[in-house]
Chain A
Amino acid sequence: MRYGYWNRILNVDLTERRWWVEEPGDDLYRQLLGGRGFIARTLLRDTAAGIDAYDPGNPLLFMPGVLTGVPLPGSGRHTIGARSPLSAGYGESEAGGFWGAELKKAGWDGIVVRGASETPVYLWINEDTVEFRDAAHLWGLVTGQAEEQIVAELGDPRIRVAQIGPAGENLVRFASISNDLNEVAGRAGMGAVMGAKKLKAIAVRGKKNVPVADPEAIKRIAKWVSGTLDENHYAFHNFGTGAAMAAKSAEGGMPTLNYQLGAFEGSDRISAIAVRDQVRVEMRGCYACSVRCKKFVRVEARDTGEKLKNGRPVPVDPKGRWSIELRYGGPEYESLAALGANLGIDDLIAVCKANEQANAYCLDTISLGCTIAWAAECFERELLTAADTGGYAVRFHDPEQVVELAGKIARREGVIGELLAEGALRAAQRIGRGTEQYVVHVKGLEIAMHDPRHMERMRTSYLFSPTGGDHMGSATNKNGLRNQAGLCFFLNYSDQMALDALCATTGWDLDQQELDQIFERGISLTRLFNLREGVTRADDTLPHRMREDLPKHAGITQEQIDALADGYYRDRGWDASGIPTPERLAELGLSEFAGSVV
């Protein structure tokens, strides 16, 4: 009897319009758990060095973990991975919601999408049945419209849909993949890979329970979460992310005006507390999660007199500019900061509207905000001019412009849309004139809204995350492991509780040492892929901006970066160049990949 997984990975070839079942075997699940372990292994095994992200041979993997779909708070996570069109090599991004759990409940541990369709297509996975369905009528639709049509034509309101928007269709390099309309695998351009395959969506319906070895133990952990919300998850439960922005600004660590400053005086006006007080309608949760940390906002352009369920009036944009649809959720901290503080914008409704547009078009809000911030700074420095942008001047402090640019970029509209759709680094490389100096990225991925000059732990995350400027700590044992397992970081589980959840789910006698090994396999496989694609120790670095001093924090020196790299490589068992040694790979059972780096 297997618990936590089915030993069934769906392989789909869009070129040939055929599918088959891959059975990786029990040993592999115990060695990798899911997520990046399977993704990086597949990329190394099935792609040739130098593969382009848009090549049909670049597989796109949707990989939950063994905990995904288990009735446990935080188990609604899945990872999506491929060779990235934005960062230097390996790409991955995670999302919550219900889609990953639904896939597991349909009897699948993951999907490997291969090839590319000539015409738009979507997949319909109804338990053991897999259909290729025409998506020509969906191509060009924003996510809300596309989901409405898919659910209507398949006739089951409980279907879960993961999809791209116009940004992915137009190969915007930071296009995301959303599921359930409000959950987003935002980073590293996975939506563009899906767009290159002409795959609009994957609709899933499942009715099986994911088998669990010790259901009573899982119930106890779930009860601990729901019974201690105030003690352990107060801010997430009541506000979601972004309730401490004023403190971050006071500490001098709030990304402001393309990371030039560390404090934004409007932080209070765009924080999660302001969201709750002004535009939030409700909080919702992911699969099986009682923390319910997801904000849902709604705004009407004009007062219609309509009341919410709680009797309060529907929030209204006092300037009459926009309505904001509830179904797209609301901004997380990263979006509040990237579309707000880092652009010098304290107009909360504009930030929420830009976030809604990003979710509707499927754009990563971090890369969107950072790419606009790069352009705005370059305009201020007169390195970028209207002659480069078809007459369009990009500015800080312009709330209407960020909303407008989201659409222009997603549609690659005009010279400015085409330029910024490439992401900040490629746009700078195209423009030249020293503009690359103002791109705040690692390995091509714009860094997130935690300044590493202020937050030391972000240095490790940005430097060694296989995707580049990622803030989620996936280069560390704890978070990297949880991604592989399909467990949310926001749940305040101790290492012991996470271990207990894994043992209770799988029935395996795991210990912390074995979990550490599982993480090491995942991070080493991603490292091997990056090395094969030409990423070296020199790419484990921080951008020019991070070398500059902030008012309250010193810039980071090369000596500090070198020391971090030496220590990180040593801890991994990699050599001084950051290459996993043959001995280390043998210890991890990965010798078959030792030859992937020449």
Chain B
Amino acid sequence: MSTAQVQVYVTLHGDIRRIRPKAAPDREATLVRGTTVAELLAALPLKPNETLVIAVNNEVVTTGATLHDGDEVLLSSPMEGG
């Protein structure tokens, strides 16, 4: 990994786990330094206008947030059932 890159750890919860490769661990992603959450999401096979909860290091963020080396990114569908 070059100094122009950062590594983040992405975990998927709820319905969005459908995009996770079967039998794969939660994914590590190597990104260009300065990548935002919106750019990370754009690289994922999401449904149009899919509503997600996005948290970085356990704090909910907006899609404009910039990702840093070592960040733990949590993506989740917001619904919880009974």
Contacts and interface: CB of A to CB of B under 8 A. Distances in A.
Interface of A: 230-231, 234-236, 238-252, 263, 271, 273, 332-334, 448-450, 471-472, 489-490, 552
Nearest to A449: B80
Given A235-B77, A247-B13, A251-B55, 4 more contacts: A235-B15, A238-B17, A244-B13, A250-B60
A469 to B, nearest CB: 13
A448 B13 CA distance: 21
A542 to B, nearest CB: 19
Interface of B: 11, 13-18, 53, 55, 58-60, 74, 76-82
A234 B76 contact: no
B17 A247 contact: no
A184 to B, nearest CB: 11
Given A250-B59, A250-B60, A471-B82, A244 B18 contact: no
A273 B20 CA distance: 13
Contact of A243 (B17, B58, B82): B17
Contact of B18 (A230, A242, A249): A230
Contact of A450 (B18, B60, B80): B80
Contacts of B55: 247, 250-251
A236 B82 CA distance: 11
B17 to A, nearest CB: 7
A242 B58 CA distance: 18
Nearest to A334: B82
Nearest to A448: B82
A246 B82 contact: no
Contact of B81 (A236, A238, A271): A236
B78 A247 contact: yes
Contacts of A239: 17
Contact of A235 (B17, B59, B82): B17
Contacts of A271: 13
A404 B82 CA distance: 24
Contacts of A334: 82
Contacts of B11: 246
Contact of B14 (A231, A244, A448, A552): A244
A448 B82 CA distance: 8
B60 A251 contact: yes
Contacts of A251: 53, 55, 60, 78
Count chain B CB atoms within 10 A of each CB in A242, A243, A244, A246 and give the residue with the most.
A244
B53 A250 contact: yes
Contacts of A241: 80-82
Nearest to B11: A246
Contacts of A273: 13, 17
B50 to A, nearest CB: 11
Count chain A CB atoms within 10 A of each CB in B16, B18, B77, B82 and give the residue with the most.
B82
